[in-house]
Amino acid sequence: MKHDLELKVQAWLDGELPEHEARRIGQWIARDAEASALAAELGCVRQALSRHEAPVTVGESREFYWSKIERQIQREAAVPGKDSLPWLARWRKYLEPAAGVVALTCVILMAVMQAGSRTFDEISSPGDGMEAVTFHDQSAQMTVVWLRTAQNQSVPKNVRFEDEHGTVVDLE
Amino acid sequence: MSMDPDRPALEEADLVGMAQRGDMASFEALVARYRDKIYARAYSMMRNEEEALDLSQDAWVKGWQKLAQFQGDSSFITWMTRITINLCLDQLRKQKRLRAESLEAMEEDGGRGVEWRLPAANPNPTAGLEQAELRERIDRALAQLSVEHRTALVLHEFEDMEYKEIARRMKCSIGTVMSRLYYARRRMASLLAGLKRENSE
């Protein structure tokens, strides 16, 4: 018999096969004498072991056996930090790099928000019924903002300049 | 030191609850109640009285330290037995008595382990044996198995663990667990039958 079939016989006996396969293997074992003998042998060993574990008893008196346990418990309790928050120690190796990533992300976010808020200061919010058009000249380091009312879109109402030093000048 | 005479009469759940609140006398009563079972499991895995005694006591110390984690999903003795098994497996690994899968496969394929390849010749290797005699023979036969085969057998037959859990605890594949169990059972059948023949001659 092939070894994988022998293992199937054993798995069938141990109830480790899926239902449909267990049915198929069970039928085959019932038909095949060799498989049947193997199942009987394995089953007999299994049954004998599960019912006949040799009784073993501690050779020491109850008091003596307990005294060593009690001393060990007290000794370990006296060691500061021993077994305190063991999960923290296990997770520390993951938490430390993660904390670094979080800190870096915070720095980047703050930088972006600061940059964003400066940009916001430089762009004036148009009120209701107004439209803004922005033009930035890289070579002149200058930004021009056109603000127009809805009623008169062709006439610029306000013009805002930003020079190379970042100074903003509003013209009406 | 003598134990509180009322403690041993209490229910297991009461003793566990009081021990969880820091009552060491209750824990002592649990130790007194189950020390033989814990020692027996350690002995079945280590096959050495001194080591089994030390490991069983270490298991109780660990049990006390982890008592807050016990939620009652299993019985207290099952939970304590799992702690004991883990300590024994760690110790066997530390001593390198639990070998790599490749070395074990070489042994099964070669010299010592040929009987597992033969057709089953002992359909009832324990027939006609008295209970006490059978226990003794099983114990002697178990002693002749390698650590890997005996451990797989102990976890499956004595602890009712599934293949998956044995694989997780022994840090090997399910296929290896199946092979170890198969080899161990065939060898046990052969040893028990051999012992039976020895006696009848």
- Any chain A CB within 8 A of the CB of B148? no
- Measured CA to CA, the distance from residue B103 to residue A20 in angstroms comes to 35
Q: Which of B186, B14, B184 is nearest to B115 (CA)?
A: B186
Gap from B1 CA to chain A (nearest CA, Å): 7
Residues of chain A contacting B53 with CB distance shorter than 8 Å:
58-60
Contact B39 A69 (CB under 8 A): no
Strand partners for A137: A142
What single DSSP character describes residue A20?
H
pLDDT of residue A121: 44
- Any chain A CB within 8 A of the CB of B150? no
User: Per the structure block, which two tokens stand in for A16?
Assistant: 């480790």
**B32 or B119, which is more confident?**
B32
Contact A41 B185 (CB under 8 A): yes
- Measured CA to CA, the distance from residue A147 to residue A153 in angstroms comes to 9
| Cβ partners under 8 Å of residue B97, min gap 6 | B147
pLDDT of residue A63: 94
Task: Dump the DSSP string for chain B.
Answer: -PPPTTGGGS-HHHHHHHHHTT-HHHHHHHHHHHHHHHHHHHHHHH--HHHHHHHHHHHHHHHHHTGGG--SSS-HHHHHHHHHHHHHHHHHHHTT-S--HHHHHHHHHSGGGGGGGSPP--S-TTTT--HHHHHHHHHHHHHTS-HHHHHHHIIIIIT---HHHHHHHHTS-HHHHHHHHHHHHHHHHHHHHHHHHHHH-
User: Per the structure block, which two tokens stand in for A39?
Assistant: 């199942």
- Measured CA to CA, the distance from residue A124 to residue A137 in angstroms comes to 18
This prediction has a pTM of 0.69
Residues of chain B contacting A54 with CB distance shorter than 8 Å:
135-136, 138-139
- Encode pLDDT of B15-51 as tens digits: 999 999 999 999 999 999 999 999 999 999 999 999 9
Average pLDDT of chain B, as a whole number: 86
3-state secondary structure of A148: strand
Judge: domain B7-94, CATH 3.30.70.1230. no
pLDDT band at B111 (very low <50, low <70, confident <90, very high): very low
Over its length of 172 residues, how does chain A's per-residue pLDDT go in tens digits? 788 999 999 999 999 999 999 999 999 999 999 999 999 999 999 999 988 888 899 999 999 999 999 999 999 887 754 454 555 555 666 777 787 888 888 888 888 777 665 544 444 555 556 666 676 676 676 776 666 665 555 445 555 655 666 666 665 5
pLDDT of residue A6: 94
Contact A10 B185 (CB under 8 A): yes
CATH of B101-200, one of 1.10.540.10, 2.40.50.140, 1.10.10.10, 1.50.10.10: 1.10.10.10
ipTM here: 0.82
Residues of chain A contacting B157 with CB distance shorter than 8 Å:
46, 49-50
- For the ranges B69-73, B190-194, B196-200, the lowest mean pLDDT is seen at B196-200
Strand partners for A149: A130
C-alpha separations of B182 from A37, A44, A154, B111, B142 in Å: 14, 13, 93, 17, 14
- Measured CA to CA, the distance from residue B70 to residue B79 in angstroms comes to 8
Can you give the residue ranges of every domain in chain B? 7-94, 101-200
